[in-house]
A and B are shown apart, each in its own frame.
Chain A
Amino acid sequence: MSRFTMGRYVPYNSFLHRMDPRLKIYSLIIFMIAIFVNYPTWAMTYTMLGILFVMTIVLLRLAHMSLLSLLKSLSSLWFMVVFILIIYIFVPRYSEANADWYFLIGTYKVYWESLLEAGKVMLRLIVMLSVSMILTATTTPLALTDALDWYLSPLRWMGVPTPILAMIIALALRFIPTILEDVERILKAQSSRGVDFKHGHIFAKFRAIISLIIPLFVSSFVRSDELANAMECRGYDPTSKRTKYRKLHFQWWDLFEFVVVSAVIACFFYVAFGHFDAYATWWGLVTK
């Protein structure tokens, strides 16, 4: 189980768990934008990403998660980080202004800016993954779907079948743990038939994966068939109007959180789009 638990809903009762799911999605989206916009200088880039990183750690703490175990469980991320680093070293990226800012390995020029760029990408990846994990770990799949349904609701006026879309998303989310359980079960069944998923050369591994994927497909199709029948038996009609059992209410503290999140991110946007260089400004004030 352990290797698949990351990103799964964990029932604690934290402030993040109680937050309105719509607000959480909104926050996630603007957080993501703040991660991916370009900041004016290298110093500002690292400062802003650093602030985002610290905010992420605080949020992780609040959600009863630990960054360390998260990074451990995303071992493939490390492979990617090394890969990115190598790419940036061999396909150098540097601006004209910093063209002579490099060091030598043998006779090969390694630009400092490539390393900075690689570091930026890595930070972005970690922060992005962490915040998405926070969202899925603190929000039940049902709450997430309700929130998505709410966001999609304006499209209803354009004739988009939003209840169907919401149902598809709900089912997809609902079946992630089930399919992971299937993976676990088939993995064990094939392991006891001597399949080695960890060792062996590429071809053997490929074969091992096939012995996992085909049964998985078969059981998924069987499952979806059964589910469709079960839904029909209980009178599911995609076109009819549906009422909701859980209603989302926007409370005054949600408004407060909304304002705080928006204000913080607005600062980031000001830095990014206003080309605000805090260090230059500070230097200007000092030397005046």
Chain B
Amino acid sequence: MPINFSHVFFTYNPKSPFQSNALKDINITLPEHRFVALVGRTGSGKSTFVQLINALLSPTDGYVKIGDYINHPEKAKKAPKDLSKEQKKAWKAEQKRIQQKHKSKDIKALRKHVGLVFQFPEYQLFEETVEKDVAFGPKNFGDSKEEALKKAHQALEEVGLDSSFFTRSPFDLSGGEKRKVAIAGILATSPEVLIVDEPTAGLDPAAAKDAMALFQKIEQAGTSVFLVTHDMDLVAQYADEVIVLENGQVVKQCPPSELFGQDLTQYSLQNPHVFDFALRLEKRGLKLNTASLRNVDDLANAIMEAKK
């Protein structure tokens, strides 16, 4: 599903003392069927960015094109003054058509294709059993009860919860298991684009690794995955491409190996540990090939190579 941002601005609480410009003139085409990481400091506009893809927010100006759906500003735009009467009429008709689209059920279709897993998604659980909660999404998107349950079971097994969990109450589970249920709730709708916001926050290292392996598997099965994160190690290890947001603007879009291995303080980011290690070795006189550096194994190989 091609996603395209065109001159997108977003302002929270316009015309009030709380006004803040979250996004400023974003123009970007997001790659398909890739594992893309979105990074940037807190408040750089990452969450706003992903919510625009899901039409949970509408841009203040500009538009976001997601497949066939176009996310336009909610308020009708005033026509420029120098238009002729006919042109103004056409402008108004166009704006009206856009307004109507907002109310239509197209948004639901869009959300079926774009799954968004929020930070700490365990807060969205509410049904009395795990399987019912996971089936909630597919049911909303028009599946029958049986179909939805089947999808739910599939999704639950995918995230590593076996059938003994299906009929338990989601509120009796541990934090990590709740997170898995919540993620399964989005996976069950089989989205074409999956957006995950800080999925590993608060998880123990093993569970975090499992979660990331799951997203990688999903990406390899043909879904575009967008990962919002502060953890550069994850970015180095899993992402095919990285987008850096800074102050509401896209300042870099490149493969991770191109971003890392240099001074990142201008983006207030830190290099992943493997790159950090490589940089320090370099300072002491060992030149490494960091082009395909992803994890510790790659680093070890690179050192072996350089030592030869």
Contacts and interface: CB of A to CB of B under 8 A. Distances in A.
Interface of A: 1-2, 5, 10-12, 182, 185-186, 188-196, 198-199, 210-211, 214-215, 218-219
A219 to B, nearest CB: 5
Contact of A194 (B103, B118, B140): B140
A75 to B, nearest CB: 16
The 6 closest A-B pairs by CB, nearest first: A194-B140, A214-B126, A189-B124, A192-B116, A193-B137, A194-B141
Given A195-B140, A199-B105, A215-B126, A189 B118 contact: yes
A215 B122 CA distance: 9
B51 interface: yes
Given A211-B136, A219-B123, A192 B171 contact: no
B118 A188 contact: yes
B126 A193 contact: no
B112 A215 contact: no
B17 interface: yes
B13 A2 contact: yes
9 contacts: A10-B16, A186-B124, A188-B118, A192-B115, A193-B185, A194-B108, A199-B105, A215-B125, A215-B126
Nearest to B124: A189
A188 B124 CA distance: 10
Contacts of A12: 17
Interface residues of B, number: 30
A218 B122 CA distance: 11
Contacts of A189: 118, 121, 123-124
Nearest to B128: A214
Given A193-B136, A218-B126, 9 more contacts: A186-B123, A189-B123, A192-B56, A193-B185, A194-B137, A195-B140, A196-B108, A198-B103, A214-B126
Interface in B133-160: 136-137, 140-141
Nearest to B139: A194
Contact of B18 (A5, A190, A192): A5
Contacts of B186: 192-193
Interface string B28-56: 00000000000000000000000100101
Contacts of A215: 123-126
Contacts of A214: 126
Contacts of B111: 191-194
B29 to A, nearest CB: 22
Contacts of A185: 118, 123
